[in-house]
Structure 1
Amino acid sequence: MSIQNFLELVEIRTKLASILPFFVGVLFSVAYFHQFELGNTLIFFVAMLIFDMTTTAINNLMDYKKAKSKNYKKETNLIGRENISPKLVSIIIITMLAISGLLGIWLVFRSGLALLYMGLLCFIIGIFYTFGPLPLSRLPLGEVFSGVTMGLGIPFIAIYLNVPNSLMDGKALLSILLICIVPIATIANIMLANNLSDYDQDIKNDRKTLPIVIGKGPGLNIYRILVLLGYLAVLLAVLLNLVDWKILVTLLTIPMAIKNTHIFLKKQDKKTTFPTAIKNLVIENVSLIISLIIISIVK
């Protein structure tokens, strides 16, 4: 397998969906708690990224094995298109899973048992998101699990590793939850946009995704709501006096997010309009990250 094929197998271009929430968590630790632990942060970043690549590789392998459309299996899916051995893909998956697992165990020894329970929950959801007789990604639950696991789980763990006592502060927990709605909603929307774009293909492959279960129209309405939900949560956090008002810098990107949303709502296509969902992920989360940096350095 070439490096290019490996990067396509793990869909490296989509890893922003885990990297951006990671930075949200780390910078929230600095901005809100004024704490930062370099060692734990670096170990978690590597473990998280490898595990994200693992779940994506599992997804591609399962899509190949369970595909009912011969055209998809032979021409669309990387494994069939490039004639890659499924056994080799399985070995790569097991290797990456073992590495991320060992790094996770190391972190447990460094930070405490609470991380073990959080990590195990994320591992279970991540694996069964694409693996098993009824993977979560093939059910109308994919948006919920991907959004919450990556959009809340990743920053929450990043914060805990930097500030272990953050779990004991109710006000801090509410602040974390509200701020994390930005990555939760944008990550869920990537999954939703993907399912909306693959609507016809998913019907052929008998996938019961959210748009197929509730209909394409209601799916587009949910997409609209999720685009603005994170912005509303940031505003609410300020109104409740939970975070510094400078986080409102995030709201400056609303016009750009709305513009991208209109483009996608007109046509749902994997190649031409789906990238607008990724652009919104970047726009909303990067503006949130910038606002957290401003809070950290401007007193």
Structure 2
Amino acid sequence: MNVPVFLEFVEIKTKLASLFPFVLGTLFTLYHFGSINALNTILFFIAMVVFDMATTAINNTMDFVKAKNLVYRDEENILGKAGISVKQAAKIIVSMIAFAALLGLILTARTNLLLLVIGALCFAIGILYTFGPFPISRMPLGEVASGLTMGFGIFFIAVFVNVPAGTLAELLLQWPNFTLAGNIATLLIILLQSAPLVFSIANIMLANNICDYETDISNHRYTLTFYIGKPVAVRLYAWLYYGAFAATTISVLFGIYPVWMLFIWAIFPVIQRNINRFRAKQDKATTFNLAIKNLILYHGLEIILLVVSLILK
């Protein structure tokens, strides 16, 4: 397998969805807690990207194995197009998961045992997303799973590995007893700050499932769009973006974010225009990428405003 084929196999272009939560989580830690641990940050970044690539590779492999549509299997799926065997794909996937898990164990040793529990949960969701007899991606849970795991999970861990032990939460083990302690107020703040990420990342999956509605049914994939119908799914697509703007505004009103963050509303007309375009036509080739453009636009400006806030603080 050459490099271009590998990069398509892991869909490297889609990794922005995990990069934004990482960057925003790190910047928020600097702004709100005034804390950073460079080595932990680097280790987490590598583990995050490698595992994200592994889950995408699992997705492509399972789509190939379970495909009922032969045209899709042989001409559209990367395994069929590039002649990658399932055995070869499995070896690459296992290697990536093992490497990411090793980095996770190192990070656990450097932080707290709670990271092992959180990491194991994220690994389980990532693997079961497309693997097993009842994969999450083929159920009406894909948007929730991807949004929470990547939007909240990555953001939370980016903060967790950079702050002193016990700032967010910690798990203490004194056999046979264990103690789980945390700061509810701080955890709620993290949940609020990650909400725009949860919504925009969930919308990528939602837009994908709306555009693939007919193909998914032919491949026996019954996603959220199948259960709620296309019209409601398209409305939900818009509501999630409105929720992102609302969450950022609430953060400013509660004094969590500086007033500069209200400049996020400057891009609302562009986001609304993209929403209207998607409402008018749901097509994988022409309008699906609007969800990715919205994510880049919203969180790109969010990063700029956070950097400005750090400079002016």
What TM-score range do you get, normalising by the shorter chain?
A: over 0.9
Deviation of 1:86 after TM superposition, in Å, equals: 1.2
What is the SS of the residue equivalent to 1:166?
coil
Query: C-alpha displacement at 1:96, in angstroms?
Result: 0.4
Deviation string for 1:235-255 (max 9, x for gaps)? 112222333222223222211
Q: Which residue in the other structure is 1:197 paired with? A: 211
Structure 1 residue 198 displacement after superposition:
0.4
Other-structure match for 2:195: 181
CA distance in 2 between partners of 1:96 and 1:6 (Å): 12
The one-letter amino acid of 2:36's match is: F
Q: What are the equivalent positions in structure 2 for 1:33-48 lying under 5 Å apart?
A: 33-48=33-48
In the alignment, which residue of structure 1 is the partner of 2:312?
A: 298
Count of residue pairs brought into register by the alignment: 299
The CA deviation at 1:84 is: 1.2
Equivalent residue for 2:251? Answer: 237
Pick the structure with more helix per residue.
1
Compute the TM-score of the two structures, normalised by the length of structure 2.
0.93
SS at match of 1:105: helix
Aligned residue in 1 for 2:106? 106
Q: Which whole-Å CA distance do the structure 2 matches of 1:33 and 1:251 have between them?
A: 25
- The alignment's TM-score, normalised by the length of structure 1, stands at 0.97
2:289 to 254, 266, 275: 275
Q: Which runs of 5+ in 1 are unaligned?
A: none
Unmatched 5+ stretches in structure 2: 169-181
Partner of 2:222, secondary structure, is coil
- C-alpha distance in 2, partners of 1:154/1:114? 14
The one-character-per-residue Cα deviations of 1:255-282 (angstroms, maximum 9, x if unpaired) are 1211111111111111111111000111
Residue 165 of structure 1 aligns with which residue?
A: 166
**Cα distance in 1 between the residues matched to 2:264 and 2:124:** 33
Tell me which residue corresponds to 1:118.
Answer: 118
Shift of 1:170: 3.5
List per-residue Cα deviations over 1:106-163 (Å, max 9, x = no partner): 1011111011111111011111011100100010000000000000000100101001
Contact 1:147 1:183 in 2 (8 A): yes
Q: What is the identity, as a one-letter code, of the residue corresponding to 1:166?
A: T
In structure 1, the partner of 2:141 is: 141
**SS of residue matched to 2:257:** coil
Q: Percent identity?
A: 47
1:175-196 residue CA offsets vs partner (Å, 9 max, x unmatched): 2211111110000000000000
Q: Contact 1:175–1:243 at 8 Å: present in 2 too?
A: no
Query: Is 1:5 matched up with 2:1?
Result: no
How far apart, in 2, do the equivalents of 1:298 and 1:255 lie?
27
* Inter-partner Cα distance in structure 1 for 2:76 and 2:167: 45
